[in-house]
Amino acid sequence: MKINAKKVKQYIPITFMGICVLGFLIFTAINKDFSIADFLELTRGYPVITSTAVIIAFIIKGFVVFVPYAVIAISTMALLDFPAALVTVIVGTIVNLSVPYWTGRLTKDDWIQKILDKIPKARPYFEASDNLFLLSFTLRAMNLSNECLGLLFGSAGLKYIPYMIANGIAILPSAISYVIIGKDMNLLESLRSPIFWSAIVVDCLMVAVMMLYFKRKKKKKELEKADK
């Protein structure tokens, strides 16, 4: 029986993803009280090792939906000095957004229906849109899963650079709020920060504007169908 090397290559990313998910589930079952924050805490006092551990945590998150982005970002800001933490979170975010995207792009699997079944909130926007860039921006701003969205848009064929730009802009307000919380490690202090509230307001405005845009677009399409 001849093995098709091209087909095997296509399934390497999804196989690796499955191994990561399985490994994560086994590890959390054995170590029920261990968290990502604990993992990063082990590296306190060793900045290079901490940064490396954070990148590894972001890679794991790229395959495992159960790992919260906020926990990694806040823990990083608490463990490193501000410039190093900021660079590490930025690099980690790029890695986290890229891993599921390339998994969806390279496996040639039909992730679209699978992801839309998993996050039905995204389906009306996906069906109403013919612009993947704006759709990617909107769904990311709605704080839906990085992993699911990466698989969705990788599979849908959105090019990598537009995907990263849309997601980077959309994730920025949330990332800023996590940076402030992690830097202060004091919720009351963070709530007093005008930058924190500005980030929250911008996040809400982005979601509201894009939801309104897609609702109007959907209504326009329905009227066009009715006129035919």
What are the boundaries of each domain within the chain? 10-227
Q: Which residue has the higher pLDDT, 49 or 12?
A: 49
Whether residue 101 has pLDDT greater than 60: yes
Q: What is the pLDDT of residues 4-33, one digit of tens each?
A: 555 445 445 445 545 555 655 565 566 666
Q: In three state form, how does the secondary structure of the chain look?
A: CCCCHHHHHHCHHHHHHHHHHHHHHHHHHHCCCCCHHHHHHCCCCCHHHHHHHHHHHHHHHHHCCCCCHHHHHHHHHHHCCHHHHHHHHHHHHHHHHHHHHHHHHHHCCCHHHHHHHHCHHHHHHHHHCCCHHHHHHHHHHCCCCHHHHHHHHHHHCCCHHHHHHHHHHHHHHHHHHHHHHHHHCCHHHHHCCHHHHHHHHHHHHHHHHHHHHHHHHHHHHHHHHHHC
Among 58-72, 181-195, 197-211, the range with the most confident prediction by mean pLDDT is 197-211
**Summary mean pLDDT of the chain:** 76
| Residues 210 and 138 sit within 8 Å (Cβ to Cβ) | yes
Whether residue 117 has pLDDT greater than 80: yes
Question: What totals of helices (H) and strands (E) does the chain contain, helices first?
Answer: 13, 0
Cα 49 from chain centre: 23
Integer Cα distance of 36 and 45 in angstroms: 17
